[in-house]
Chains A and B, each alone.
Chain A
Amino acid sequence: MQTRYKNIYLIPYVLWIVLFVIAPILLIIYYSFFNIEGHLTFDNYIQFFTPVYLKMAASSFWYAFLIMAISLIIAYPTALLLTRTKHKQLWLLLIILPTWINLLLKAYAFLGIFGTYGPANTFLQFIGIGTKQLLFTDFSFLFVSVYIFIPFMILPIFNALEELNPSLIDASRDLGGSPWTTFRRVIFPLTLDGVKSGCQAVFIPALSLFMITRLIAGNRVITLGTAIEEHFLVTQDWGMGATIAVFLIIAMAIIMILTGKRRRG
C-alpha cells in the first residue's frame, strides 16, 4: 500500500525556488530585451556581437582558462603530495583555512606585496632584475587569482585521490608500470572527476571576478563580471548588463554539461 500524504515541506521550499532561483533568471532574460530608455529591443544582443564585446568576452574566457590551467598545474601535485603526508586531515584543514579569510583582504595584501616598495620588488632587486611595475599588470591579476582559487582546485582533486583504491597503483607497479605510466594510465584517469569539479569551481568564478580586476589589475583586465558590474552599478544600463549576464549563464550551462559527471550513464 502506498502512503500518500501531502508533502507540506514542499511549500516553503518551492516558494524559495520560485522566488530566488526561477524568477531572477527570468528577470535577467526579460531585462536583456530592454534598452536604457526602457524600449523593447534586440539592440543589446546586436551590440553584444560587435567586436568590442566579443573581444572582451574572448579575453575574459582566455584569462579564466589561464587561471584554471595554472591552478590545475600547481594543485595536482600538491593534492598528490598531501595524500602521502602523515596528518592528512590537518594539512587539508590548513589548505582550506585561507579560503575562510575574506577574499578582499587577500587581494588587499597583494597591493602591498606587489607595490613599488613591496617585498616582491625587493626580491627582484636582490636577484638583480631591478624594480618592476607589478601592480596593475596581467601578471599580478593572474597571480592573485590563482592564489585565491587554488584551494578550490586542491580540494576536489584531493578527495578524488583519497577515493582511489591504492591496490590499483600497486597492481600497476607489479605489472611493471613506471611511476609515470602509473600516473598517466591509472591515477590521472581515475581522478578525472575531481579535476573536472576543480576546473568547474575555478573557471566559472574566474569568468565573473570583478573585485580583483578592479583592485589589482586597475582597469587593464575586463572580465564579463567587470562588465556586468559596470553596467548595473555605474552606467545603470541594466539591459546591456542583463544581456552579458545571459551569455554568462549560457557559458556556465555549457561548462556544467561538459564537465558534468557521467556516473549515471
Chain B
Amino acid sequence: MKKYKALNIYLVLVFIILYAPIFYLIYYSFNSGGTMHGYGHFTLKWYKEVVQDTRLITIVLNTLVIALLSSAISTMLGVVGALAIRTVRRAPVKNTLLTLNNVLIVSPDVIIGASFLILYTIIGIKLGFTSVLLSHIAFSVPIVVLMVLPKLQEMSPTLIDAARDLGARRWDVLSKVILPFIKPGIFAGFFMALTYSLDDFAVTFFVTGNGFSTLSVEIYSLARQGISLTINALSALLFLFTVILVVGYYFIVQYYRKPRRQGAGE
C-alpha cells in the first residue's frame, strides 16, 4: 500500500503548513534577540512586557467586554429571530426573511464596515465603544439564527400543543418547553458569536474611531510598524486561550448531546 503512504504524506504536509506559522510565532516569542530570525537565548521578557503594558491590558479587556456583551445580546435577538421565522407560516415571507438574514453573513467585511460607518454617522452615534458593540451585535445575529433554527425545526409541534393543552401559558411554553429543547443550538450560536466577535478586524476597523481599540485593530497597527516580539508573546497567549475555548466548546457540546438523547428515550 505504498500509494496510501504517499497520500498521507500530502495530508501531513498540509497540516505542517497550516500550523507552522503559528508555532513559528510562538517559538520566537521566547527569543531574547528581538527579531524573528537568529535565536538569542530563552527569555520571558516579551511576556512580561505584555502583562505590564496597561494600555494593552485595557484593549484586551475592551475586546472581551465587547465579545461577551455582543454575543449575549445577539444570542437573545437571534433566538427571537429564529422563533419569528418559525412562526411565520407563509413561505414567501419566510424565504424573504431568511434571505435578508443571510445578507450579513455573505457580505464582505469591508462593505459591512463601510455601510455601518455611514449609518452611525447619519444617526449620530459617536464612533467608539457603542458603535463597535452595535456592529458586533448586528453581524452576530444571523449566525445565531442559523444555529437555532434547525433545532427549532427539529422540535415536534405536538410538544407545544401538548403543553398548551395542559394549560401552559405562552411564557411557560417558551421557557419550559421551547428554550430547554433548543439549548444546544443557543449555546452553539453564542459560541459562534463569541468567536466572530473576537476574530473580527475589518468591521471594527471601520467603526472604531480614535479613542477606542480592540485587539485585532491593535495588532494591525502594531504589525504595520514591523516586527515586535511583544506581538509574538501576545499571539502565544491568544493561541492558548483559543485552544481552551475550543476544548471548552467541545465539552459543552458533548455534555448537551448526551442528556438530550436520554431524554428523547424516556
Contacts and interface: CB of A to CB of B under 8 A. Distances in A.
A97 B242 contact: yes
A40 to B, nearest CB: 16
A74 B18 CA distance: 12
A81 B11 contact: yes
The 10 closest A-B pairs by CB, nearest first: A112-B36, A24-B115, A208-B108, A9-B84, A109-B21, A13-B81, A20-B138, A117-B37, A9-B83, A208-B110
A228 interface: yes
A38 interface: no
Interface of A: 7, 9-10, 12-14, 16-17, 19-25, 27-28, 31, 74, 77-78, 81-82, 85, 93-95, 97-98, 100-113, 115, 117-119, 122, 147, 150-151, 200, 204-205, 207-208, 210-211, 214-215, 224-225, 228-229, 232-233, 238, 241-242, 245, 248-249, 252, 256
Interface string B87-112: 11000000001001101101111111
A101 B114 CA distance: 24
B18 A101 contact: no
B17 interface: yes
B66 interface: no
Given A100-B195, A104-B201, A112-B227, A204 B108 contact: yes
B118 A238 contact: yes
Contacts of A214: 224
Contacts of A252: 106-108
Contacts of A110: 21
Nearest to B217: A104
B121 to A, nearest CB: 9
B199 A103 contact: yes
B111 A102 contact: no
B115 A245 contact: yes
A24 B112 contact: yes
Query: Which of B22, B36, B103, B108 is packed against the most chain A CB atoms within 10 Å?
Result: B108
Contacts of B239: 101
Interface string B59-95: 0000000000000000001001101110110000000
Given A9-B84, A16-B138, A112-B227, A105 B199 contact: no
Contacts of B114: 28, 228, 232, 241-242, 245
A28 B115 contact: yes
* Range, interface on chain B: 35 or more
A101 B223 contact: no
A225 B231 contact: no
B264 interface: no
A232 B108 contact: no
A105 B235 contact: yes
Nearest to A85: B11
Interface string B1-29: 00000011011001101111110110010
Given A117-B38, A232-B113, A248-B110, 13 more contacts: A9-B81, A12-B81, A97-B243, A98-B19, A109-B25, A112-B35, A112-B36, A204-B108, A205-B108, A208-B202, A232-B117, A245-B114, A252-B108
Given A17-B100, A78-B14, A225-B108, A101 B115 contact: no
B216 interface: yes
B199 A7 contact: no
Contact of B111 (A23, A28, A82, A94): A28
Contacts of B18: 95, 98, 147, 150-151
Interface in B203-233: 205-206, 215-216, 219-220, 223-224, 226-227, 231
A7 B87 contact: yes
A158 B220 CA distance: 32
